[in-house]
Structure 1
Amino acid sequence: MSPNKTVYVIDDDPAMRDSLDFLLDSAGFKVTLFDSALSFLDAVPSLGFGCVVSDVRMPGLDGIDLLKRLKSDNKQLPVIIMTGHGDIPLAVEAMKLGAIDFLEKPFEDERLLNTITVALSRADHERKGESVTADITARIAALSPRERQVMEGLIAGLSNKLIAREYNISPRTIEVYRANVMTKMQASSISELVRLAMRGGILKD
């Protein structure tokens, strides 16, 4: 799958929008322009994943308000804030609200392109990680109560015999449950089962 190359530019200055559109398009990004934070937020429900590049000072909703709204709506989009000279305190506030970086105007074209590329790459990696964790959690949820007990015994390092004694059932039955656990969890070894249990949150590292 090709890397995500979508960028959403938000700036009330038409010249700045056109300049960024030309730069990003030339670098192979798929660019969508917005003249205000409000028009972007209105469009968000229909937009796919991408990197947001927003000016911090805009009429109506500014970049800080935008970050607050995205945070309250739990929108997981990487945001890069563009600031004018003297806006460093605002930029720091933006970082505290979840912006991943800020660029002080005028900035080098290459710096913007690199910042966007890193932001998209990191965000894609995090999203894939969240997807894997959700998959493991679903596997754990699919275990029966007895299979869950056997799994907890296995990751605690107990033998089949000790687990059988704990629940007053035969070791042979534990072998069946153990096989079911390994199949459902898609684990080929106890060490892999332990790693999955840690990722799924039932065993703390």
Structure 2
Amino acid sequence: MSRIPTVAIVDDDEAIRDALSDLLMLEGFDCRSFEGASAFLAEIGRTPFDCLITDMRMPGMSGLELLEHLHDRGADLPAIVLTSVVDEHSRARSLALGARAWLGKPVADKVLLNELRLAIQGRDVILPEGSAE
């Protein structure tokens, strides 16, 4: 049975988490936000996430380390990196670990939503139509 997709937002900036959550909920997605990678990892086994949106620079575990951890666990979770980091090595490594997109901050709503829909296509979810321009 199909369901509304659930997106995990991992970013240490509360304003970013809130803005992304508001955008995604307005577009018909369910979402959960986490202030860091360890909080997200504590929840991943309990909630069926369909996509991860993560920042690159965070205290404790970075977004790249989070992607490495998920990859090592064999997690089949599409990820989008949303970052202000301009680092080709981190970008290439993130994509090699399975990130579907590397987007610079600030990102246009339409671009993020398009990448999100592409990342979760084929999963057992009902994709929201969306209206962000």
User: What is the TM-score when the length of structure 1 is the normalising length?
Assistant: 0.57
The residue type paired with residue 113 of structure 2 is L
Say which structure is richer in strand. Answer: 2
1:89 deviates by: 2.9
Q: Deviations over 1:134-163 (max 9, x none)?
A: xxxxxxxxxxxxxxxxxxxxxxxxxxxxxx
- Residue correspondence of structure 1 range 10-159 to structure 2 within 5 A: 10-122=10-122, 124=123
Q: Distance in 1 between matches of 2:96 and 2:78?
A: 13
Q: Distance in 1 between matches of 2:87 and 2:4?
A: 30
1:24 deviates by: 0.6
The residue type paired with residue 19 of structure 1 is A
SS of match in other structure, 1:46? coil
Aligned length: 124
1:3 deviates by: 5.6
8 Å contact 1:82–1:104 — kept in the other structure?
A: yes
Q: Which runs of 5+ in 2 are unaligned?
A: 125-133
Fraction of identical pairs, as percent? 37
Q: CA RMSD in A?
A: 1.5
Say which structure is richer in helix. Answer: 1
1:85 deviates by: 4.6
8 Å contact 1:37–1:63 — kept in the other structure?
A: yes
The residue type paired with residue 90 of structure 2 is L
Q: Deviations over 1:66-94 (max 9, x none)?
A: 01110111111001111215234312211
1:49 deviates by: 3.4
User: What is the TM-score when the length of structure 2 is the normalising length?
Assistant: 0.86
Which ranges of 4 or more aligned residues in structure 1 deviate by more than 6 Å? none
Q: Distance in 1 between matches of 2:89 and 2:3?
A: 33
Structure index of larger Rg:
1
The residue type paired with residue 25 of structure 2 is D
Q: Distance in 2 between matches of 1:18 and 1:86?
A: 24
Match of 2:127 in 1: none
Higher RCO (Cα < 8 Å, 6 or more apart): 2
Q: Distance in 2 between matches of 1:2 and 1:98?
A: 24
SS of match in other structure, 1:45? coil
Q: 1:115 to 1:3 in 2, by over 3 A?
A: farther
Q: Distance in 1 between matches of 2:101 and 2:53?
A: 10
